[in-house]
Amino acid sequence: MTLSLLFEQLLNGLQLGTMLFLMASGLTLVFGVMGLINLAHGSFYMVGAFVTAWTAGTTGSFWVGLGAGILAAAAVGAVVELLVIRRLYHRQHLDQVLATFALILIFSEGTRWLFGSSPLWLNVPEALSGAVALPGGSRYPVFRLVIIAVGVLVAVALFLLISRTRLGMRIRAGESDREMIGALGIDIAKLYTLVFALGAALAGLAGSMIGALQSVQVGMGEPVLILAFVVIVIGGIGSIKGALIGSLLVGLVDTLGRVFLPSLFKLFMTPAEASGVGAALASMLIYVLMAIILAFKPKGLFAAND
């Protein structure tokens, strides 16, 4: 176990964590403000990735693609909110789950219909394709560091948006008493559309950037969505701070578990057995973490009002 490997895996965990935060913050914001559980959040991630890959492939510029991806995700989010989601705010959770599950089917199959089943590829932009040296001698891709930086920037921006701006004040007010802010003359419908589109844009941003690391394909949003659910359950549904801490926790535990559990089992098992058992247990690790946290705190670490 070298120091450089540890350092590299810590960075990988951090990168997964910041990406999860982009997804989880949108989910938790939508739940906190509108009380809506949205399974289709992963679809915005997929929309962002597909539009970025397609636009970047057409124009040749990653940055144009990135902008288009984020805008497309936000626009799709706003349209979905106007057409479907706003009919669900006063419904039971069961209806919300089913309607957004239906949206997943529509988005996934619709995308497959438009783009086909074979994955699209998105290249890391030229300027960020290098690698930097880490202490210990190994090299780490610049693009992954940029992803971490973007995640941190978004976290800071969200914090400022919510605590320092008028829009943030309305969002906080909407979380604590939606009838009252309606009575104070704030257009709640517009606020809801805005918050929903903001969440979708963040998911689109995550999808666009991860699209440069993995293949862009139908269904790519689903594993991330479920990880984001684990994150917000751990952090406390509705809490941005909880989403941040939960994301980092899940990102680090998942990444480090996958690397170190098999080597741990090699100490007292044959290598073949150890990699099998280790991989199987590592894939369960974050769920075990979730179960342990919920056993002590059924509402998550930083439960918001609810």
Partner 1 sequence: MTRLHKGALDKTPGATPVPMPRIQRETWVNWALLGLLLLAPMIANALGEVYYVNLATRIAIVTMAAVGLNLAIGYGGMISFGHAAFFGLGGYVAGISAFHAFDMTPVLSWPITMPGTDNLLVIWLVAMLSCAVLALVIGAISLRTSGVYFIMITLAFAQMIYYFAVSWPTYGGEDGLPIYLRNQFPGLDTNDPLTFFLICFAALVLALAITARLMQSRFGAALTMARLNETRLATAGIAPYPIRLVAFVISAVITGLAGALFADLNGFVGASMLSWHRSGEIMVIVILGGVGRLYGPLSGAMLFVLMETLLGGLTEYWLLFLGLILLFVVLFARGGVMGLLAGRARHE
Binding site residues, partner 1, CB under 8 A:
31, 37, 84, 87, 93-95, 97-99, 101-106, 108-110, 112-113, 222, 226, 229-230, 232-233, 237, 276, 279-280, 282-284, 287-288, 290-291, 294-295, 298-300
Bridge partners for 133 per DSSP: 139
In the complex with partner 1, the residue whose CB is nearer, 38 or 55, is 38
In the complex with partner 1, the residue whose CB is nearer, 91 or 164, is 91
Residue 110 CB, shortest distance to partner 1, in Å, is 6
Q: Give one DSSP letter per residue of 125-148, joined into a string.
A: PGGG--EEEPTTS-EEEHHHHHHH
In the complex with partner 1, the residue whose CB is nearer, 73 or 274, is 274
In the complex with partner 1, the residue whose CB is nearer, 96 or 193, is 96
Query: Are 219 and 108 a contacting pair, CB within 8 Å?
Result: yes
Bridge partners for 131 per DSSP: 141
Other beta carbons within 10 angstroms of residue 27's beta carbon come to 26
Give whole-number Cα distances, 71 to 44, 48, 67, 96, in Å.
Answer: 11, 8, 6, 25
User: Which stretches of the chain are DSSP H helices?
Assistant: 3-34, 41-59, 62-83, 93-115, 142-164, 166-176, 178-183, 188-211, 221-235, 240-265, 271-296
In the complex with partner 1, the residue whose CB is nearer, 102 or 131, is 102
- Residue 156 has which token pair? 């800071």
- Residue 174 has which token pair? 């909407």
Query: Are 123 and 62 a contacting pair, CB within 8 Å?
Result: yes
Residue 267 CB, shortest distance to partner 1, in Å, is 20
In the complex with partner 1, the residue whose CB is nearer, 63 or 113, is 113
Residue 116 CB, shortest distance to partner 1, in Å, is 11
